[in-house]
Chain A
Amino acid sequence: MELKSNVPPGPLAEKWTQHKFDMKLVNPANKRKYSVIVVGSGLAGASASASLAELGYNVTCFCYQDSPRRAHSIAAQGGINAAKNYQNDGDSVQRLFYDTIKGGDFRAREANVHRLAEVSVNIIDQCVAQGVPFAREYSGLLANRSFGGAQVSRTFYARGQTGQQLLLGAYQALERQVGLGTVKMHTRHEMQQLVVVDGKARGIVVRDMETGALESHVADAVVLATGGYGTVFYLATYAKGANCTAIWRAYKKGAAFANPCYTQIHPTCIPVTGDHQSKLTLMSESLRNDGRIWVPKKQGDHRPPGQIPEDERDYYLERKYPAFGNLSPRDISSRAAKEACDDGRGVGKTGRGVYLDFADAIQRLGVDTIRERYGNLFDMYERITDEDPYKVPMRIYPASHYTMGGLWVDYNLMSTIEGLFVLGEANFSDHGANRLGASALMQGLADGYFVAPYTISNYFGTVRTFDKIKADHPAFKTAESDVADRTKRLLSIQGDKTPDDFHRELGQIMWNDCGMGRNEAGLKKALAALPQLKRDFWKGVRVLGTNEEVNQSLEKANRVADLIELGELLCLDALERRESCGAHFREEYQTPDHEAQRDDDNFCHVAAWEYKGDDAPPARHVEPLTFENVHLQTRSYK
């Protein structure tokens, strides 16, 4: 397998402009002849579907929810970055590029990241024109806030519902095309298989989640925009339905999987309360603009927070990272919280929590200002915990939140399978080993509005004529019967554990041995436990009912089976990456003050895994990363 990045030649800042000029165009009359399947209707999928349809292609879009507007992008709270420099605080495309490369601990491709920073400004223009109600100053101009890992204010937001508003913008553009008949939207349809014909991605098999019917859909290109795989940890800030099935099935058809071990654990989530817990809720990082994080200095100090005097509190982020303080990047903040709790200084019933305290900010700015900035987040916190964060500090703890890893793509966002494009969180492309806050929304919309429509056109312009195939092609028939067989197998096991039982077990293994801190012994333990879990699953899962109806257990079982396999690849990748970088923290590789220690001599590369069959180990391929425009240096936020 060859990993050709296809980064265009020329100076960094001119690559994208030149590439756009060099790419082949398809003349307007011919566009109608090409068809694209888009799986996913989040920021990446909805924006790509709308834009491709506007260009004149025939688009078919799928999502598993009952409406495209419900993709999990809807849950993003804090904001979206763009190098507009409206605050005149020294921001620029160059600085956003640099912050993102550094935030990712020098493990992302320079050219992709630069392009992302360049188009960031167009995203804001686009969204405002669609009617996205971003926060504004009294002047009527757009407002900004700060996010972790940056010293400028470049984050645009819509109260605490930025993802919702951006997704509604993209969804409305998508529905407009549905109304015009250029996009066919299939909700409650789940992709089960990718179909590759003569080396090209030519379609998918989906299951109608209401009737169980399997349908084959043929197209000239397939786009996966199916989100991240962070539910491999079971408890996560993701939607309950979030899964890896689409990318995992594509991996098994030949798409390389890059850096699966780069998973982000977000520092500010509401802590776990009990075994019944089904998901974890994020408290936006934007809260760290005004909230101060602390734990008691003394171990086992169980006094209520209000009774712990100032000089007995450890504002550990401010102490350890004075330059960035409470706005230190996520990986660093999460590990620091874990360290404090491991040290016996955690708070709350379980001792797995730290305080996020707004008392100072409320005193300085007044309750009204805080309510205006974060009111909905405070309400959400109160509903879940029954505590009033205006009066007592929030308790927070890290949780699985984002996956930087994903299917490998080249500069054109095409995977190692020709004609298979991967967008948004599902690809690995822009965030290296750690994503900065407010950069995922930016990437999803950059991919969907401004990159993929051009590169997919270029693909059509280059291939020009596709073999005419229909859904009765043998490759589709085989794919359909494979899916049907798997379903039959799942329904026939009738074991004694539910899909959720297995999912929770998977989460335990992953969180304990491949979570915020990883080491060789733990990873090897997980690598022994996971194949056993997989065997147990296929012997012991209980799925009731039939295929020919709404069957939520069947859906779950199908997804959990894939997540277990992906978990194994994740651990393998974590084991093989014998360095610490960004969110991948190998305990053996740390500096004396417990920071991640990279090994640029041996690991300054992307690791992309090739599936070699169920009974053979996958092959690890390497794409070297070269840094011509930034200096490889030790990341410091002190």
Chain B
Amino acid sequence: MAGQGEEKLLNLTLHVWRQKNRGAAGGFVTYKDEARGISTDMSFLEMLDVVNERLIKSGREPIAFDHDCREGICGQCGVVVDGSPHGPRRATTTCQLHMRSFDDGAELTIEPWRAGAFPVIKDLMVDRSAFDRIIAAGGFVSVRTGNAPEANGLPVPKQDADLAMDAAACIGCGACVAACPNASAMLFVSAKAQHLNLLPQGAPEKDQRSLAMIDQADAEGFGTCTNHGECEAVCPKEISMGFIARLNRDYARAAVKKPRAGAPAGGAG
């Protein structure tokens, strides 16, 4: 078995996107000495930690990158490695990617998510606040605290609950947008909408939700979905494109009914 005792050390060459702030022009900087002796037991972010420690010790500013939980659930991390959001391993966030996925001597290009709606803040960090605004537009059930009926009063067929959970597993990292040639956010939007649309608790607001979330995504400048399928391929939680088809159906139905006026929901849009 690997893992126990098969640690190897890698010497890498990194080309990392460095950009001072939103307004500044960025460019690639190459690191070689700083990326020597990297253990295959390290995670990708631990490799960047090591590079950063070395940069600081030699008086150079460390590379800024987003991360928090480092266990693949918060969705805060994410860089593009050699053109692939979250790197080469299927169903794996950047923080869970381990260096054993790379060969000694490898040359890696590391960039931030690239999308008009995700402006770069610094180096590998981007602004994903558009996702929050899409949720604020309709990604919720309008229930007030303290008014909830008995939980088992409304049974939910197991397969519906399971499907809703498949959609709800989205971590909101934005890799789908970064992978899409159109920078569409439809995998995210559909996962978030379908999680609720599929459950009886979310059904009453289905029309309003479908319209509001898609409209908000358009307003944020995300592109339209033309079924490339890159999003599904890079999604660390393997969210299915089937949810996009479902949301498109919900949207079409709702658009015919036009429930917007007088709807009770929120609406940041």
Contact = CB atoms under 8 A, between A and B. Distances in A.
Contact of B49 (A178, A180, A273, A500): A500
B73 interface: yes
Contacts of B50: 276
B155 A386 contact: no
Given A158-B165, A241-B68, A553-B56, A66 B128 contact: yes
B59 A380 contact: no
Interface string B66-78: 1111111111100
Interface string B175-193: 0000000000000000000
Given A86-B152, A139-B155, A133 B164 contact: yes
A177 interface: yes
A549 B122 contact: yes
Interface string B121-152: 11001011101100111011111111111111
A74 B69 contact: yes
Contact of B140 (A136, A176, A553): A176
A251 interface: no
Interface string B38-70: 010111011001100100110111101011111
Given A75-B74, A140-B157, A165-B168, A276 B41 contact: yes
Interface stretch (B10-18, B28-36, B92-100): B92-100
Nearest to A544: B61
A113 B135 CA distance: 34
B158 interface: yes
A262 interface: no
Contacts of B136: 175-176, 178-179
B53 A449 contact: no
Given A129-B201, A500-B49, A550-B64, A449 B146 contact: yes
B105 interface: no
Interface stretch (A277-285, A428-436, A558-566, A588-596): A277-285
A124 B168 contact: no
Q: How large is the interface on B (under 10, 10 to 19, 20 to 34, 35 or more residues)?
A: 35 or more
Contact of A136 (B75, B148, B156, B171): B156
A159 interface: yes
A634 B137 CA distance: 54
Interface stretch (A166-174, A357-365, A468-476, A522-530): A166-174
B221 interface: no
A84 B265 contact: no
B262 interface: no
Interface in A488-512: 496, 498, 500-501
Given A159-B165, A239-B74, A552 B62 contact: yes
B133 to A, nearest CB: 8
B144 A124 contact: no
Interface string A545-582: 10001101100000000000000000000000000000
B268 to A, nearest CB: 4
Contact of A133 (B5, B57, B76, B168): B168
B4 A274 contact: no
A417 interface: no
Please indicate which of the listed interface residues A84, A168, A388 has the most CB atoms of chain B within 10 Å of its own CB: A168
A135 B145 contact: no
Interface in A384-411: 384-388, 392
Most buried by A among B43, B68, B72, B162: B68
Nearest to B156: A140
A595 to B, nearest CB: 32
25 contacts: A47-B145, A67-B131, A68-B132, A69-B132, A74-B69, A84-B152, A129-B143, A129-B149, A129-B151, A131-B195, A131-B202, A135-B161, A165-B165, A175-B135, A177-B266, A178-B132, A179-B136, A276-B41, A383-B72, A383-B89, A384-B98, A387-B1, A544-B60, A545-B61, A552-B62
Interface of B: 1-7, 20-21, 39, 41-43, 45-46, 49-50, 53, 56-57, 59-62, 64, 66-76, 89, 91-92, 96, 98, 100, 121-122, 125, 127-129, 131-132, 135-137, 139-152, 154-158, 161-162, 164-165, 168-169, 171-172, 195-196, 199, 201-202, 265-268
In the A-B complex, the 7 residue pairs with the closest CB atoms:
A179-B266, A140-B155, A179-B136, A129-B148, A172-B140, A386-B3, A125-B148
Interface of A: 47, 50-51, 54, 65-70, 72, 74-75, 84, 86, 122, 124-131, 133-142, 158-159, 161, 164-165, 168, 171-173, 175-180, 185, 187, 210, 239-241, 273-274, 276-279, 281-282, 348-349, 379-380, 383-388, 392, 449-450, 453, 496, 498, 500-501, 542, 544-545, 549-550, 552-553
